Structure 1
Amino acid sequence: MPASTTPIPLIARDHLFGNPTKAGGQISPDGKWLSWLAPLEGVLNVWMAPVEEPASGKAMTTASERPIQQYFWAPDSKSLLYIQDKGGDENFLLYGVDIATGKERTLTDFENTRVDIIGTSETIRDRILIGLNNRDARFHDAYLLDLNSGDLALVQQNDAYAGFMADDNLDLRLAVAPNAAGGMDFFPIVDGAIAEEPSDSTDLADSLTTQPAGLTTDGSIMYWIDSRGRNTAALFAQDAQTGERTLIAQNEKADIGGVMGHPKTGEVQAYSFTYLTAEWTATDPDIGASLDWLGKQLEGDFGVSSRTEDDQTWIVWNDPLTAPAQTFIYDRNAETLAEFYTGRPELVGAPLQPMQTLELKARDGLTLPSYLTVPGDAEGPVPMVLLVHGGPWARDEYGFNSHHQWLANRGYAVLSVNFRGSTGFGKDFISAADLEWGKKMHDDLIDAVRWAVEEGIAQEDKIAIMGGSYGGYATLAGLTFTPEVFACGVDIVGPSNLETLLATIPPYWEPMIAQFHERMGNPATPEGLAMLKERSPLNSAGNIVRPLLIGQGANDPRVNQAESDQIVGAMKDAGIPVTYVLFPDEGHGFANPANNIAFNAVTENFLAEWLGGRSEPIGDTVKGSTADLVEGAEHVKGLKEAMAS
């Protein structure tokens, strides 16, 4: 590609990472109301408007300190519900807003409690089933919540189970408990009594790829996403009376990932799988006709985010890939598509770059589905950022990615790799990562880097590694275990010590601890403890020879602040430069846009210092956030000056 004679304009950080104009569009089940998230005095809140007058929206919530990120309609369309934590502590409480009166209240008013939604009903529309761990932080008791009165009634005390599944009558039908094999046991529940023996079980290999996927409204069919006896997870329908299973869908390369069920009957109407890109297949002809019609109207990727109970109106999102995402109101009867909103209209006309799909090969022959975005003016090798996803039991996907666009706009190739252990590609792909933290999982990333260099995409001496959570661990592993490969690293809420990580998991994760031990290493055995020590970057911190930037939330319940404090302390003791930014009001990631923008301002100037790409000046972003610059302002271009101004 020839180099452009005119520099590509910088895309402003706040256009990519600031508050969207609107997001999370939904329609009420009765079809009378539109809802969405939008800023109120700079903080995302829930808004609502009549379907006939979408421009007359009003804010229904008054969050002022932390953005609301998850909300949903009550089944009876009388209230809007949302969950919210405090400062990123992930103790999510449930709140409700009566749409007639505007009255807002806390529906689970408890301290140090995390709510789970167990089930909602098509026929009992004023109540839902929730789980609360206010009695024992490890386990969620099941309660019936009256959404209008706020009354809570205990349904099932829980002293052993990781979760429950309910039917449309809001009766518990299945309890799930971990087993000694590292998998799960599924116990039927009849008339409130939990069976003594499980009806189904998984071992470690199937634990992340097999689970019930819901019941039909009449309770006659239970759907399963199931990998037992196969590699990729398929979709099955099981007769609740006879136990007979019928295969509905399967794919050789990818697990069945998404299901559309009829709003009233719960019967599966379409399913999806995502290998490199997402693909939907309808089992219902009418749904198929609607998806086909939408496919002809929209460019790029699209999906259905909300449906009315009569299934005549859908809220449809569209990702054009190189333009900002849009959301539409689709009238299925009239076959009309009305624009609801553009999430980030400031990106219209911005120089967004296409994402490429790749199949890379690991050194042992394993195929690694990956994604690459290159600068629009790239000619020959350029600096590169290896952007590593968290989890690690998660995955990267195809589509608009704000970090890919931001970094490509700054002059970097951006490579995201689904390394072994990533989900969605079958259980064998996940199991290939068992006990391979810092080893074969890391080798996959190094093999991807070598590919990018050999293909003339990346400059070998100007490659950064960056990521959050497990991606932060991968960054620390990269700078300690392969210290000469990367020019610098950016670690966001990444664990540095696997021993202390496992010792400080949230209490409600304790039912899963056996699986962590089987996949990471068991500290209760000499071999497991030795492995965890060996794979912990903290114990090799003296190997670091390249610049490191760390971002951490002080309230992170998953990766405690001590994980960052420990490695920063070790680097200081060894005289190794490090830059450390701590956010006192954040948790596992940075939800407040001002904090996110501030850290990204530091990041892009850090990368500019060590890779030579472009950057927007830091300006007053850090001062305008809650950031505590603990260490190392001198290692980031312009940071000392920005803090002093």
Structure 2
Amino acid sequence: MRFHLGAIMVWTSLLTAAGSAADPQPTPVDGKTGLISRKIFFGNPDKASVEISPDGKQISFLAPVDGVLNVFVGPIGDPKAAKPVTKDTKRDIRQYFWAFSNHHILYLQDDGGNENFHLFRVDLADNDVKDLTPEKGVRALPSGVSHKFPLDILVGLNDRDPRYHDIYKINIASGARELVQKNPDFASFLADDDYKIRFAFKYNIDGSQSALQPDGKGGWKEFLSIPMADSLTTRPVGFNKSGDELYLIDSRNRDTGAFFSWNLKTGQQTLIAQDAKCDVGQIMEHPTEKTIQAVGFIYDRKRWEFKDPEVKADFEILSKVVDGDVNVSSRTLDDSQWIVSYLLDNGPVRFYHFDRKTKKSTFLFTNRKEMEGLTLQKMHPRVIKSRDGLDLVSYLTLPPGSDDGNGKAIHPVPLVLLVHGGPWARDGWGLNGYHQFLSNRGYAVLSVNFRGSTGFGKKFLNAGNKEWAGKMHDDLIDAVDWAIAEKITTPGKVAIMGGSYGGYATLVGLTFTPDKFACGVDIVGPSNIVTLLNTIPPYWAPGVQLFKDRVGDHTSEDGKNFLHDRSPLSKVSSIKKPLLIGQGANDPRVKQAESDQIVHAMKEKKIPVSYVLFPDEGHGFARPNNNLAFNAVTEAFLAKYLGGRYEAIGDAFENSTIKVPEGVSDVPGLKEKLPVGK
């Protein structure tokens, strides 16, 4: 790595200029200023993950108990009577579901963010909680639930070999387990409602994926070969009621992933639904009949293509209740009752109970009551052209006073480029905590689906292959240039921020394009792609070929050299703008060493950096107290280097495990509020 004295001189002059005047002062949170408390954006929701029991008699949801999300259950006719049935005191429960017994709740929980999830069950008769997968260091992966087996569940466990998940059938009442399928080296399995393993999936050395069927002799035979170009846009997703038709999302011989049925007896494939601009995003099927009712597509906003006229008629009724994107989030086994959620961009999610027989919608609650009545900002879909002609579906939120009502900026403001993780994921429309939080602080916020993002067809996805810090970053720069040309912002007033891949993109922004951004906020982002891929969790081993094909080969010398050149760690000397890094010590995906090594390299070159570490977090900050603490640091950091408003740190560190190994003095108010020894 070369040392650039000029970079240090520019950084030093920037800090001297910023430090020569007093740090920006916090803005009071009140009606006069319009500043909204960060707790409203990042504290736990009042209600979340609302479900109806299979028999329709009970409702469940996640809600806080002493600040920790637990599962509540109550009668469907009286949600206010719901009581907590779980007892977690340290970490929020984030994933749970009903067993078809109607008397059990199942949920997943890990330890300190290590992602070694255990599967727990709650017996609602006495609220007895049992760990069904108590082995240490083992990751439980629910792999099949069926109404035909109300007391059994299929679960993948990597207890025999940490790389591979064998499939067990576990009795949720007793915990007794039975091995269903040993895993020799497969990435995943697909079972039917009879708990028969119908397919296994395997990545091949050429990047293709094979869907294999049991050969009847204890082995496997190939049923379907999926080329590398289609491996993230083609996949079997289930079966019809009789099990003789396979439902398949398929992009082979086309661009976007369309929805097909495949007759396994005749081999005939029938197209059910397609969209020329985007892949299938959601499928609604009857819970027991397995008939396809509707197929959802998301380009910039959700669009439903209906296959069941009764479901179509119900959606027409539901669309008149609330002006937002409609989603059926839960339903009874006979499909007579639905829990319907309405997604808005400037208000909390609204939940309703819908009786399909009477067509009556009953309002239940919103997910964040404190947001009700607040003036929040609209999110505007925008399609930005990349320099080589790709359509980048993006989302823009403008701060109060700068939006003409249609997403046209009245005057330029500082902008935060918010980059999604994955990178094989996507941004979408709806209420986004960071968009609302940052726009309330005075920033425009822009999220860009850069090439490599999923949902827009395989050509767009594959255009990102081996383009980390290459054309994927060019797309982000093109979006910034668009925002400047549209007079949304001005040069020198743009920050870059994101988590996971978005954190990596932040580091790329400050190293590969050091003059483009005023500052950056990296959350659990890798700094060295070679060390990232050398330390992935063992259970990712069956899919490691995907990384070789789409990121680069970390096992060959040429590949290592290529990845070294695409790693921000190799260009640390180029950094000349302020950087804030957030990391969880237990992160199994992006190890703490990824942040430690770039912080160490910056210290060696005397380049200032602010580093926030949480010893009880993993890949992201799951504990609300830690999330609030980090965002208190973030908004003070952005206020100093980008010029927006911020709420005083106040009690944000209360009950947080925050540590700041480096850069305490570079964030306004941090030194005074940080507990001694942190």
TM-score by length of 1: 0.98
User: Does 1:562 pair with 2:593?
Assistant: yes
Q: Secondary structure at the match of 1:160?
A: coil
**Residues 625, 654 of structure 2: 8 Å contact kept:** no
Deviation at residue 52 of structure 1 after TM alignment: 2.6
Deviation at residue 48 of structure 1 after TM alignment: 0.2
Deviation at residue 283 of structure 1 after TM alignment: 0.2
- Taking the aligned partners of 1:644 and 1:54, their CA distance within structure 2 comes to 40
Q: Counterpart of 2:26?
A: none
One-letter code aligned to 1:332: R
User: Does 1:153 pair with 2:178?
Assistant: yes
Equivalent of residue 439 in structure 1, options 470, 481, 505: 470
- Taking the aligned partners of 1:493 and 1:469, their CA distance within structure 2 comes to 5
Q: Secondary structure at the match of 2:323?
A: coil
**Residues 387, 465 of structure 1: 8 Å contact kept:** yes
One-letter code aligned to 1:238: W
- Taking the aligned partners of 2:88 and 2:654, their CA distance within structure 1 comes to 23
1:73-92 matched pairs, under 5 angstroms: 73-92=98-117
One-letter code aligned to 1:564: S
Q: Counterpart of 2:19?
A: none
Q: Counterpart of 1:373?
A: 397
Equivalent of residue 280 in structure 1, options 265, 282, 304: 304
**Residues 386, 478 of structure 2: 8 Å contact kept:** yes
Q: Residues 381-436 of structure 1, C-alpha deviation per residue, up to 9 Å, x if partnerless?
A: 10000000000000000111010000000000000000000000001111101111
One-letter code aligned to 1:125: P
Q: Counterpart of 1:3?
A: none
Equivalent of residue 316 in structure 1, options 317, 320, 340: 340
**Residues 609, 636 of structure 1: 8 Å contact kept:** yes
Equivalent of residue 62 in structure 2, options 37, 53, 65: 37
Q: Secondary structure at the match of 2:73?
A: strand
**Residues 383, 394 of structure 2: 8 Å contact kept:** yes
Equivalent of residue 124 in structure 1, options 139, 142, 149: 149
Deviation at residue 190 of structure 1 after TM alignment: 5.7
Deviation at residue 332 of structure 1 after TM alignment: 1.1
1:644 to 1:180, Cα distance in 2 relative to 1, 3 A? closer
- Taking the aligned partners of 1:527 and 1:121, their CA distance within structure 2 comes to 48
Q: Counterpart of 1:523?
A: 554
Deviation at residue 191 of structure 1 after TM alignment: 5.6
One-letter code aligned to 2:262: Q
User: Does 1:551 pair with 2:582?
Assistant: yes
The count of corresponding residues between Structure 1 and Structure 2 is: 639
1:479-628 matched pairs, under 5 angstroms: 479-628=510-659
Q: Residues 615-645 of structure 1, C-alpha deviation per residue, up to 9 Å, x if partnerless?
A: 0001121253101111101111111122279
- Taking the aligned partners of 1:623 and 1:59, their CA distance within structure 2 comes to 25
**Residues 8, 351 of structure 1: 8 Å contact kept:** no
One-letter code aligned to 1:71: Y
Deviation at residue 342 of structure 1 after TM alignment: 1.2
- Taking the aligned partners of 2:414 and 2:188, their CA distance within structure 1 comes to 46
Q: Counterpart of 1:293?
A: 317
- Taking the aligned partners of 2:456 and 2:33, their CA distance within structure 1 comes to 37
Equivalent of residue 86 in structure 2, options 61, 86, 92: 61
Q: Residues 557-588 of structure 1, C-alpha deviation per residue, up to 9 Å, x if partnerless?
A: 00000000000000000101100000000000
- Taking the aligned partners of 2:498 and 2:103, their CA distance within structure 1 comes to 41
Q: Counterpart of 2:358?
A: 334
Q: Counterpart of 2:10?
A: none
One-letter code aligned to 2:661: V
One-letter code aligned to 1:317: S
Deviation at residue 45 of structure 1 after TM alignment: 0.2
- Taking the aligned partners of 1:192 and 1:18, their CA distance within structure 2 comes to 54
Q: Secondary structure at the match of 1:229?
A: coil
1:134-173 matched pairs, under 5 angstroms: 134-173=159-198
Q: Secondary structure at the match of 1:459?
A: coil
One-letter code aligned to 1:480: T
Equivalent of residue 271 in structure 1, options 295, 301, 318: 295
Q: Secondary structure at the match of 2:212?
A: strand
Q: Secondary structure at the match of 1:169?
A: coil
Q: Secondary structure at the match of 1:424?
A: coil
**Residues 534, 554 of structure 2: 8 Å contact kept:** no
- Taking the aligned partners of 2:508 and 2:318, their CA distance within structure 1 comes to 44
Equivalent of residue 262 in structure 2, options 231, 238, 245: 238
User: Does 1:94 pair with 2:125?
Assistant: no
Q: Residues 43-91 of structure 1, C-alpha deviation per residue, up to 9 Å, x if partnerless?
A: 0000000113222111100000100000000022120000010000000
**Residues 29, 73 of structure 1: 8 Å contact kept:** yes
Q: Secondary structure at the match of 1:199?
A: strand
Equivalent of residue 111 in structure 1, options 130, 136, 153: 136
Q: Secondary structure at the match of 2:320?
A: helix
Q: Once the two structures are aligned, what percentage of the paired residues are identical?
A: 52
Deviation at residue 192 of structure 1 after TM alignment: 8.1
Instruction: Name the structure, 1 or 2, with higher relative contact order (CA <8 Å, separation 6+).
Output: 2
Q: Counterpart of 1:219?
A: 243
Q: Counterpart of 1:344?
A: 368
- Taking the aligned partners of 2:567 and 2:535, their CA distance within structure 1 comes to 15
Deviation at residue 291 of structure 1 after TM alignment: 1.1
One-letter code aligned to 1:337: S
Deviation at residue 523 of structure 1 after TM alignment: 2.2
- Taking the aligned partners of 1:372 and 1:635, their CA distance within structure 2 comes to 29
One-letter code aligned to 1:32: K
- Taking the aligned partners of 2:573 and 2:497, their CA distance within structure 1 comes to 20
Q: Secondary structure at the match of 2:492?
A: strand
Equivalent of residue 326 in structure 2, options 302, 306, 318: 302
- Taking the aligned partners of 1:432 and 1:407, their CA distance within structure 2 comes to 31
**Residues 99, 105 of structure 2: 8 Å contact kept:** yes
**Residues 541, 571 of structure 1: 8 Å contact kept:** yes
Q: Secondary structure at the match of 1:609?
A: helix
- Taking the aligned partners of 1:255 and 1:194, their CA distance within structure 2 comes to 33
Deviation at residue 352 of structure 1 after TM alignment: 0.4
Deviation at residue 213 of structure 1 after TM alignment: 1.0
**Residues 325, 344 of structure 1: 8 Å contact kept:** yes
Q: Counterpart of 2:231?
A: 207
Q: Counterpart of 1:187?
A: 212
Q: Secondary structure at the match of 1:314?
A: strand
Deviation at residue 92 of structure 1 after TM alignment: 0.6
User: Does 1:414 pair with 2:445?
Assistant: yes
- Taking the aligned partners of 1:341 and 1:217, their CA distance within structure 2 comes to 35
- Taking the aligned partners of 2:227 and 2:653, their CA distance within structure 1 comes to 48
**Residues 505, 557 of structure 1: 8 Å contact kept:** yes
Deviation at residue 8 of structure 1 after TM alignment: 5.3
- Taking the aligned partners of 1:348 and 1:120, their CA distance within structure 2 comes to 36
1:585 to 1:161, Cα distance in 2 relative to 1, 3 A? same
Q: Counterpart of 1:640?
A: 671
Q: Secondary structure at the match of 1:154?
A: strand
One-letter code aligned to 1:443: D
Q: Counterpart of 2:454?
A: 423
- The unaligned stretches of length 5 or more in structure 2 are 1-30, 403-409
One-letter code aligned to 1:524: T
Deviation at residue 116 of structure 1 after TM alignment: 1.2
Q: Counterpart of 2:493?
A: 462
- Taking the aligned partners of 2:440 and 2:78, their CA distance within structure 1 comes to 38
1:272 to 1:78, Cα distance in 2 relative to 1, 3 A? same
556-565 vs 217-226, which moves further: 217-226
Q: Secondary structure at the match of 1:546?
A: coil
1:190 to 1:127, Cα distance in 2 relative to 1, 3 A? farther
